[in-house]
Amino acid sequence: MTENQMTAWKAFRGGLWDEIPVLRLMLGLCPTMAVTTSVKGGLTMGLSVVFVLICSNVVVSMMRNLLKPHLRIMMFTLTIAAFVTIADMYLKAFQPVMSEKLGAYIPLIIVNCIIICRSEACAAKNGIWVSAVDGLAMGLGFTIVLCFLASIREILSTGCITFSETAVWTVLNPVDKGGWFTPWAAMAMPVGAFITLGLTLGAVNQLTKKKA
């Protein structure tokens, strides 16, 4: 095993904590800011990224010995674009409401740094199994962070988490439903995303700070 190669366990652990994309690698911040206004939106975005990451990692890993250095980025982009288009079409066909809600952010997965980073850093140097595990773990890590941030923002901006018209989990009883909580409209706006992400990053840095 060369120094560039990794084990499946290392890849799995890396995606879920050591190299969790948003909080440790600082990758994928644009969709994190944009789609975390609701848990359902964050979950849909996260699962789309999981699909694209696994598929693109597997395909890149399969063709890794054939890649020409000067064409590799083009090959990565072609592969990623194909799977993102499939994910986008699937959402338009079977989850039209979420597809509209997420708007341009699903097609923009093509330029998501996490995916091209994992193609370059892992899939182009490792076997199919390790690349698939890496894609799954990185995608799940991304999804967990999106859902965590989205739950904070959605609860503070509406008082509840809405999964569908009938499935609403009320956490802080809002004033408009006869409760006491006045929703913070700012949490649904970009400022809410910056504050939530900033505080979360601070907390993670505090947790992982190495002692002298």
Partner 1 sequence: MSNSIKLFFRESWLLMVSAVFFGALLAVANAAWAPKIAQNEINKFSNLAKALLPEAMKFEPLQNKDKIIIDLGDGKTAGADVRKGLDAAGNCIGWAFLAEGSGFADKIKLVVTADAGFTKLNGFGVQQCSETPGFGDKITIKNGFYQAQYKQAPAGKFTLTKIGDSKKIDSEIVAITGATVTSQAVVNIMNTYVVQIKQQLQQKKLIGQ
Residue numbers at the binding site for partner 1 (CB under 8 A): 37, 63, 66-68, 71, 74-75, 78-79, 81-82, 85-86, 89-90, 92-94, 96, 100, 103-104, 157, 185, 188-189
User: Among residues 79 and 126, whose Cβ is nearest to partner 1?
Assistant: 79
The dihedral through the CA atoms of 56, 59, 62, 68 has a sign that is: negative
User: Among residues 82 and 204, whose Cβ is nearest to partner 1?
Assistant: 82
What count of other Cβ atoms lies within 10 Å of the Cβ of residue 211? Answer: 3
User: By C-alpha distance, which of 154, 171, 126, 176 is closest to 9?
Assistant: 126
What distance in Å separates the CA atoms of residue 51 and residue 159, rounded to the nearest whole number? 31
User: Among residues 26 and 97, whose Cβ is nearest to partner 1?
Assistant: 97
User: Among residues 21 and 159, whose Cβ is nearest to partner 1?
Assistant: 159
Report the nearest approach of partner 1 to the CB of residue 14 (Å).
28
Report the nearest approach of partner 1 to the CB of residue 94 (Å).
7
Report the nearest approach of partner 1 to the CB of residue 36 (Å).
11
| Contacts (Cβ under 8 Å, ≥6 apart) of 113 | 27, 28
Report the nearest approach of partner 1 to the CB of residue 79 (Å).
7
User: Among residues 26 and 71, whose Cβ is nearest to partner 1?
Assistant: 71
| Contacts (Cβ under 8 Å, ≥6 apart) of 189 | none
Residue 188, helix vs strand vs coil: helix
Q: Which structure tokens are listed for 1?
A: 């095993």
Residue 6, helix vs strand vs coil: coil
Report the nearest approach of partner 1 to the CB of residue 191 (Å).
11
What distance in Å separates the CA atoms of residue 131 and residue 129, rounded to the nearest whole number? 5
User: Among residues 56 and 126, whose Cβ is nearest to partner 1?
Assistant: 56
Dihedrals φ, ψ of 161, to 5°?
A: -110, 125
Report the nearest approach of partner 1 to the CB of residue 141 (Å).
26
Contact 184, 192 (CB under 8 A): yes
